[in-house]
Amino acid sequence: MVGMILEAPAAITARPLTPAGGAGVAWMVVDATPDGAVAADYSSIVAAGLELIPPSIREPLERWSSRSGITRKLNIAVASNSDSSAAMAALFRLTGWSIPDGWGGRYGDRAFVQINRQKSTTIHEYAHHIDYLWRVSNGQPEGALRNEAEFTSLFAVSMLTMEEALYGHNSSAEWIAELLTKSIDINYNGARSNHPRIFLGLCGDNTAVAGHVRALLLDIFPDLPAFSWGSSWIASPPEPSITGYPLGDISVGAGVSCRLFDESGLPVTWSISADALPAGLELTDGMIHGNAVAPGPYAFTVRVSSSGGTMDRAFTGYVFDPSRPKPVITTTSLPAIIRTEPYSFQLQATSPDPITWSLPDPTRPLHAGLTLSPSGLISGTTSDGTPRTYKVRASSYGGYVDLTVNANVTARIAFTTKQLPALKVGSSVGRIAIDGTGANLEEKGLVAGALPSGLQFEFGDPSLPTFALFGIPNAAGPYSFTLRMANEYTSAEQTFTGTVSPA
C-alpha cells in the first residue's frame, strides 16, 4: 500500500484541516454518522490531539511525497456513534476495514479511523503513523522504528515483566505507539491507563529500561515535551526520573562520559545509593565520568532525589583490560534437566584471571526455578518442560566469550506399575497394562528373566512408556522377569516376581 492515497467517498464529506507548521499539507477529517451524512464537526477534537505533536515531528511526515512525486494524504475518520452499524459501514467504505466493538481506532498505511473521540486516541493512531513512516520520510530506508535493533531488544526485555493488562503487552506496534502517546500527551489526567506513569509500566516497571527507551526517543525526537515518567500519578510536585543510556562495558583507561538527567523540572541531587562506581569514575550532577583504572565486574545504583521523591536505577557491566586474554569456555553442552528434580551443573572455562558468569540476553532466561551463579553454577528445580536455548557469558579481565547451548528438560523415566495381578493356570489375563512415565523412548523391552509360560508382550508405540501382557498361563510356579525403558537422558528397570497358581 506504499504510495496509496485514500480519498473520502462521495457519501462522506471531507474537511481539510491545516495543522500548525504544516502549510500546504493535505489533511482530511471525515465525519461518519448513522445515516452517512455529515454530523457534528469533530475536527476540533482531532486538532487538539494534533496540536500536541511537536511540529518537528509532523512536518517531515506531512510534506513527504512518494517516489512518484504524488503528495500522500492522511485521512482521519471519526465516527459519531461507535454502536451505529451505519456509521461503521460508512467508515468501512472509506478504509476497507471492519472495526470490532471496543476498539478506540485503527491505523492503516495512510488513514486511521477513530471511534473513541479523545485527543489521546488521535495521538495514539498518529503515533502508528510516526512508527511506520518516520524513517522513509526522513530519507532513510523504509522500515518501522520499532524494528530497529535497540527498540526490538528493549521491547523483548519489557515484555518479561510488563503487566498483561497494559495495551501493547504483546504487540511491539502498540507498545511504541503507547510510549509515544504517553510522551506527547503528558498532561492527560483522565483514565489511569493514559497517564504518563504508564510509560514506566510499558517498560516492565524497570527504571533502567525506561530510562534507556526515553533516551532513544529523545535522540530521535528532541522536541518531545519534558515529563517525569517516574510519577506514580499526576503528582505535585512530580517524582523525579532518570533518563539516559546504560553505561555498558568499558575499558581500562578509556574516557567515560555517561549523561543522566531528570525531567521533573525540580532541583535534584544525585548520589550512589548502593555499591560503588568502578574505581576512577565519579558522579557529578548526573554525569558519570572519568577513566576506569581496574578491570572487573561492576554493579551500582544511582539515585536522584527532589522534593517530589526519589528514583533508583541499577547499572551493571564490566571493566575490561584489552591487554589481558579473554577466557576460553570448555563446556560444550548441558546434561539433561530432569523435571521437578534438583539440578546442578558447573559451567567450565579457563583464564589466568577471575571469571564471572552471567546471562547477557534477558530474553533468554533460564527455566523458572533455575539460577546461574557468578561462579558458573546452574542449579535449582524446575517444572517447566519447554525446550530452551541458553546464552551464557564468561567474562574475565580481557573480555568475554558467549556460549549458546540447548537446555533439554525431560521427565524422569520410571515404572508406575510395580507388580502383576494374581495369575492362575487356565485363566485368561485379558490385557494387563504395565505403565510408566517419560517420553521419546529409544529402548524398551525385556532384559532379564522370562514371562510366565503362556503369556506374551504387546509393546505398542516403541517411544511411549507402556507395555501390555495377554494370554493364558499354562504352567504353575514362580516367575521373574525385568523390563527396561531408556531414552537419551534417563532410564529405568523394573523386576516383576510372583507365582502362577495351579488351576
Q: What is the CATH number of the domain that holds 366?
A: 2.60.40.10
Whether 24 is in a domain gets the answer yes
Judge contact between 471 and 455, C-beta under 8 A. yes
Assign 19 a pLDDT band (cuts: 50, 70, 90): very low
**Whether residue 180 sits in one domain with residue 41:** yes
Instruction: Give the Cα separation of 106 and 451 in Å (integer).
Output: 70
Residue 16 scores a pLDDT above 70: no
Whether 3 is in a domain gets the answer no
Each residue of 404-462: pLDDT tens digit? 999 988 888 899 999 999 999 999 999 999 999 887 888 999 999 999 999 998 888 88
Assign 228 a pLDDT band (cuts: 50, 70, 90): confident
Residue 99 scores a pLDDT above 90: no
Return the bridge partners of 269, or none.
305
Weakest-pLDDT range from 191-200, 315-324, 362-371: 191-200
Judge contact between 242 and 211, C-beta under 8 A. yes
Strongest mean pLDDT among 69-78, 100-109, 476-485: 476-485
Across the chain, what does the average pLDDT equal? 81
Whether 241 is in a domain gets the answer no
pLDDT value, residue 176: 95
Out of 277, 299, 320, a domain closes at 320
Boundaries of domain holding 452: 414-501
Judge contact between 209 and 160, C-beta under 8 A. no
**Whether residue 150 sits in one domain with residue 87:** yes
Averaged pLDDT, 244-263? 91
Instruction: Give the Cα separation of 199 and 227 in Å (integer).
Output: 10
Out of 296, 320, 344, a domain closes at 320
Assign 74 a pLDDT band (cuts: 50, 70, 90): low
| Entry field: residues in the chain | 503
pLDDT value, residue 128: 86
Residue 264 scores a pLDDT above 50: yes
Whether 245 is in a domain gets the answer no
Assign 329 a pLDDT band (cuts: 50, 70, 90): very high
Number of domains in the chain: 4
Out of 354, 377, 410, a domain closes at 410
Whether 235 is in a domain gets the answer no
C-alpha cell of 27? 489533511
**Whether residue 211 sits in one domain with residue 92:** yes
Burial annotation 237-259 (CB, 10 A radius, 16+ → b, else e):
ebbbbbbbebbeebbbeeebebe
Averaged pLDDT, 309-335? 93
**Whether residue 79 sits in one domain with residue 139:** yes
pLDDT value, residue 42: 63
**Whether residue 333 sits in one domain with residue 462:** no
Strongest mean pLDDT among 73-77, 362-366, 391-395, 434-438: 391-395
Residue 29 scores a pLDDT above 90: no
What's 103's domain CATH number?
A: 3.40.390
Assign 175 a pLDDT band (cuts: 50, 70, 90): very high
Assign 31 a pLDDT band (cuts: 50, 70, 90): very low
**Whether residue 406 sits in one domain with residue 349:** yes
Residue 118 scores a pLDDT above 90: no
Assign 1 a pLDDT band (cuts: 50, 70, 90): very low
Instruction: Give the Cα separation of 495 and 99 in Å (integer).
Output: 65
Residue 336 scores a pLDDT above 80: yes
pLDDT value, residue 196: 58
3-state secondary structure of 319: strand
Residue 206 scores a pLDDT above 80: yes
Burial annotation 130-165 (CB, 10 A radius, 16+ → b, else e):
bbbbbbbbeeeeeebbbeeeebeebbebbbeebeee
Whether 8 is in a domain gets the answer no
Averaged pLDDT, 453-482? 92
**Whether residue 470 sits in one domain with residue 441:** yes
Burial annotation 393-422 (CB, 10 A radius, 16+ → b, else e):
bbbbbbbbbebebebebbbebebeeeebee
Whether 117 is in a domain gets the answer yes
Weakest-pLDDT range from 188-197, 231-240, 338-347, 392-401: 188-197
C-alpha cell of 11? 457519501
pLDDT value, residue 328: 96
CB atoms within 10 A of CB 457: 16
